[in-house]
Amino acid sequence: MPGTVIVGAQWGDEGKGKIVDLLAEHADVVIRFQGGNNAGHTIVHGGETWKFHLIPSGILYPGKTCVIGNGVVVDPKVLTGEIDGLRNRGVDVSGLKLSANAHLIMPYHLLLDHAGEARLGKNLIGTTKRGIGPAYADKAARLGIRVQDMLDERILKKKIAAALEPKRAMLRPFAKEIDLQAMTEEYLTYGHRLEQHIADGAALAWRALENGRGVLFEGAQGAMLDIDHGTYPFVTSSNPVAGAACVGAGVGPKDIDEIWGITKAYVTRVGAGPFPTELHDETGEQIRQRGGEFGTTTGRPRRTGWLDLVALRYAAKLNSLTALAVTKLDVLSGFDRIKVCTSYRGSKDDDYVASDFPYHQSVLHHAVGEYEELEGWQEDISACQSEAELPQAARDYLAFVEEHTGVPVVLVGVGPGRDQVIWTSRAAEATTLPAAA
């Protein structure tokens, strides 16, 4: 390894959890570096299905250190529930560490999130209403409550009071739900329960890297939801790009050796925002049903579309991707022809055509995909175990993606199971991971 970043290269839901779970076997430490419980990772491991929202995907391996980094916003109610659920299923969580510098999602953050979306009406962002945005806003305003604050009653109560003061007008409709003393006691209880896991997350990362141990940096959501570089304002409240791994885990850029982008063989999106390749027809519904495209966190049906190479090239540049993992290739089995977006054009009254991702939101909102059609395949590829076993059309599809992104495809997902993956012939050259050798 030793330092490998895993990021989503689309609008999230790309299958990052499965890839991190697969690679965690060869790592010593897995660090989640941004986002909150608005993320959802589904893993099929040992014949069982697991769903994670805050805990890093490597938790299913005994002896691994799994760190929730300082860049994550943590709802302690959700985290303790997730820990209890794992314990009840016989999973050892002693290796779980929670950065003392991570910020907390407070009850008033959830209230503000709901109220904010309601005020926007038809212009709503489509947040998960988990309080993520308001928690990050408080962090930036220096009004945040951190994990370490749950270990000191005096500091905790003082900081909650200070955070509530500028919000009184907005929270007036929820006055009955805001009880300073009760909130303080609730979070002190969470602090007591989580104290055994609270640690200096950055120091854990430093020690692992200095000793040559493999470290996986796990991102949530996807690059196209980045607050700076995504389809703003229809984005998340953090930076789900590779550069944020350093900030969100407390390491330097020189500690990163490889950066993997995870992409589906098609595209999905949850919530509002531009989606140039979106399908509103029977094909889109077929992809949704075949791929089980319903949100892990929200249960909402995902919007579906053909693979967008304009956006994928953009994500590759933003993240300096060294490798691609293409998931859910099996979902495209059965289509006679498969479309791939290689450029954008404007609306009917606009002569805009470009192969680069547009920086101007008005252009992007009116952009639609220009496609090349590739031959499809009818075979069920879910049992394929090598690249050679894939139909020629499927191999051509992967080669097309490589050609247009300039990034080697090293891993291909052909089903939901952990063992339903194929390492390509490019993997040995593109990654130092033992599994690829």
Tell me which residues are annotated as active site.
13, 41
Phi, psi of 353, deg, nearest 5: -140, 130
| Cα–Cα distance for residue pair 436/325, rounded to 1 Å | 12
What is the rounded distance in angstroms from the CA atom of residue 145 to the CA atom of residue 188?
12
Residue 177: both structure tokens together: 């739900």
Pairing of strands 41-45, 65-68: unpaired
Asked if 252 and 246 touch (Cβ cutoff 8 Å), the reply is yes
Residues 109 and 145 sit within 8 Å (Cβ to Cβ): no
Helix (H) or strand (E) holding 400: helix 392-405
**Angle at 195 (CA atoms; ends 148, 53), nearest 5 degrees:** 85
Q: What six digits make up the tokens of 356? A: 């680069």
Residue among 240, 284, 217, 262 nearest 401 (CA): 262
Q: What are phi and psi of 286, to 5 degrees?
A: -60, -45
Residues 290, 25, 9, 298: is their CA dihedral positive or negative? positive
Query: How far apart are alpha carbons 296 and 69 in whole angstroms?
Result: 22
Question: 298 vs 34, 80, 311, 405, CA distance in Å?
Answer: 19, 19, 24, 31
Q: Are 90 and 190 in contact (CB under 8 A)?
A: no
Structure-token match 């141990």, residue found = 213
The rounded distance, in Å, linking the Cα atoms of 189 and 184 is: 9
